[in-house]
């Protein structure tokens, strides 16, 4: 099975975009399967920096890219992102990009509701990207969504819009907002439909054909396992399943199509938004990691919270996603630290845990149990072979492998596409 499924194994921003871009040279199709334009995937190719939120990272190399049914799609954002990439020299046409007919749409009132709820939540806010992701998924599950295929049948939407407006107008009234303007909504949908429809295809069929022809499919996850709606630090999570299993349900390929599951793991830990983070360092260490790693959100520009590597969380992610191997990224950010710490367990009250308990209160109280390992003074930045890594950096990698119970497949040593060490080719497995 020559497919590869890439997922984030922490709280997102592990460097998935860079690794997907690097791997997409060997792929025939790249597929997004969940999330929406809450993602921010950065690709650095020479002097050029590409920031993708909704489009699969494979598009930058021109590889056939598909947006699966598990994604929630803001059609106006889609048009803007296509235009932005075009201005950077990336041509996006129906020949190299397909959108699943069954993707639910993110509409302007989803974005409104996301923001209104966040503003009203005070200290309890999630810290969402305010892009309407949660409200759009709620409407999907509530069977009220307008989907991409509806854009070809706008004259047949009355009942669906009745359902949607009945639901949203009640919520909006609670926030003192005006009801949805139906005429404006129809005008907006009519205007955008012409741009979207040429890209719309039965993506499940495209992927199944690719599979039967022995083509290589690369699945690109967004967010990370600790943001998964079921397995993450609920309620401080996103509204989709981010685990590898979603590659199947979010595209229509079937579970035996996932292939090699590649977990992307940052060599330390970051989180953007609210919620528990046991190894967070609100001190010089966190500051240094943030500065060296340029830890600012791609989508919102927010400063990311930083901390030590948490082997307990990554081990849990490896288990729930069935990770075959990991790509360890941003190793270079640790250059020059005299001592590194790795979390190997938690204390909550007088109890010890080798996993993160499910309840938010326990998660908030979890005190990390650390082991220390000497750092290295040499630079790993830009290393492209194992032989260029200092012995102590190799020790750090080996210890991580032991603690998480999973081998390292790739190591990334800078934002640049080719500053990547291949330990084992995931497509060859
Ligand atoms: P994603 O959401 O998982 O795709 O990750 P982001 O793109 O949001 O954040 C990762 C950031 O780290 C981006 O700015 C990348 O250019 C950068 N990056 C990726 N790999 C490395 C690496 O190995 N070293 C350094 N220093 N930066 C990296
Ligand atoms: P990539 O793909 C990091 C976080 C938000 C917030 C929570 C819910 O770049 O790794 P949402 O808007 O999804 O309802 O926000 O999830 N979040 C991310 N954090 N990387 C991401 O994507 C994220 N997408 C959402 O900060 O805490
Ligand atoms: Mg990101």
Tell me the domains of the chain and their CATH numbers. 4-102+199-257 (3.40.440.10), 108-196 (1.10.300.10), 265-428 (3.90.170.10)
Distance 142 CA to ligand 2 centre (A): 22
Looking at the chain, the number of H-run helices and the number of E-run strands are 12, 18
The span from the CA of 385 to the CA of 23, in Å, is 17
The span from the CA of 231 to the CA of 367, in Å, is 20
Nearest to residue 34, comparing CAs of 190, 216, 244, 284? Answer: 244
Return the half-sphere exposure (C-beta side, CA atoms, 13 A cut-off) of residue 221. Answer: 38
Contacts of 334 by beta carbon, 8 Å cutoff, 6+ apart = 267, 268, 340, 375, 376, 380, 393, 396
- How high is the pLDDT of residue 292? 96
- Token reading at 125: 């806010």
- How high is the pLDDT of residue 300? 81
Q: Classify burial at 187, counting beta carbons within 10 Å of its beta carbon; exposed 0-12, middle 13-18, buried 19 or more.
A: exposed
- How high is the pLDDT of residue 35? 98
Q: Could you report the per-residue pLDDT of 151-188, keeping only the tens digit for each?
A: 999 999 999 999 999 999 999 999 999 999 999 999 99
Could you confirm whether 13 is annotated as catalytic?
A: yes
**Which of 18, 137, 272 is the best mutation target for the ligand 2 pocket, counting ligand atoms within 8 Å of the beta carbon and taking the most?**
272
DSSP code of residue 38: T
Which ligand 2 atom sits closest to the C-alpha of 114?
A: 14
Characterize the bridge pairing of strands 339-348 and 64-67.
Answer: unpaired
- How high is the pLDDT of residue 1? 54
Distance 18 CA to ligand 1 centre (A): 7
- How high is the pLDDT of residue 302? 87
133 ligand 2 Cβ < 6 A: yes
**Which of 36, 38, 232 is the best mutation target for the ligand 2 pocket, counting ligand atoms within 8 Å of the beta carbon and taking the most?**
38
Annotated ligand binding at 300? The verdict is yes
Regions of the chain where pLDDT drops below 70: 1
Could you confirm whether 41 is annotated as catalytic?
A: yes
- How high is the pLDDT of residue 259? 96
- How high is the pLDDT of residue 301? 85
Q: Could you report the per-residue pLDDT of 68-120, keeping only the tens digit for each?
A: 999 999 999 999 999 999 999 999 999 999 999 999 999 999 999 999 999 99
């Amino acid at each position: 099975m020559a497919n590869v499924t890439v997922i984030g194994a922490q709280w997102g921003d592990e460097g998935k975009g860079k690794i997907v871009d690097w791997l997409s040279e060997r792929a025939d199709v790249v597929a997004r399967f969940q999330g929406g334009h809450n993602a921010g995937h950065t690709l650095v190719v020479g002097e050029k920096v590409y920031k993708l939120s909704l489009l699969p990272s494979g598009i930058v190399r021109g590889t056939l890219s598909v947006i699966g049914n598990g994604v929630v799609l803001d059609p106006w954002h889609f048009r803007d992102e296509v235009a932005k990439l075009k201005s950077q020299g990336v041509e996006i046409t129906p020949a190299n990009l397909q959108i699943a007919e069954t993707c639910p749409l993110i509409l302007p009132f989803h974005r409104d509701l996301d923001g209104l709820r966040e503003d009203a939540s005070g200290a309890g806010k999630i810290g969402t990207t305010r892009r309407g992701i949660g409200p759009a998924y709620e409407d999907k599950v509530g069977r009220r969504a307008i989907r991409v295929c509806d854009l070809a049948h706008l004259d047949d939407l009355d009942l669906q819009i009745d359902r949607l407006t009945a639901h949203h107008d009640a919520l909006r009234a609670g926030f003192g907002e005006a009801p949805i303007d139906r005429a404006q909504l129809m005008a907006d949908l009519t205007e955008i439909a012409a741009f979207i429809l040429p890209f719309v295809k039965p993506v499940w069929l495209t992927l199944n054909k690719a599979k039967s022809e022995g083509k290589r499919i690369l699945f690109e996850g967004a967010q990370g396992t600790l943001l998964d709606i079921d397995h993450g630090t609920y309620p401080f999570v996103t509204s989709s399943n981010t685990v590898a299993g979603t590659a199947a349900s979010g595209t229509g390929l079937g579970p035996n199509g996932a292939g090699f599951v590649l977990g992307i793991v940052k060599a330390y830990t970051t989180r953007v938004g609210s919620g528990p983070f046991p190894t967070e360092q609100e001190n010089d260490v966190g500051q240094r990691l943030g500065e060296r790693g340029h830890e600012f959100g791609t989508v919102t520009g927010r400063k990311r919270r930083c901390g030590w590597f948490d082997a307990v969380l990554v081990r849990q992610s490896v288990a729930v996603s069935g990770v075959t191997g990991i790509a360890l990224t941003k190793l270079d950010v640790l250059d020059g630290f005299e001592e590194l710490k790795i979390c190997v367990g938690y204390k909550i009250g007088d109890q010890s845990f080798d996993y993160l308990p499910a309840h938010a209160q326990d998660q908030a109280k979890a005190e990390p149990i650390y082991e220390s390992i000497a750092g290295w003074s040499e630079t790993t930045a830009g290393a492209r072979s194992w032989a260029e890594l200092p012995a102590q950096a190799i020790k750090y990698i080996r210890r991580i492998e032991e603690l998480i119970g999973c081998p390292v497949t790739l190591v990334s040593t800078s934002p640049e596409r080719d500053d990547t060490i291949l330990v084992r080719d995931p497509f060859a497995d």
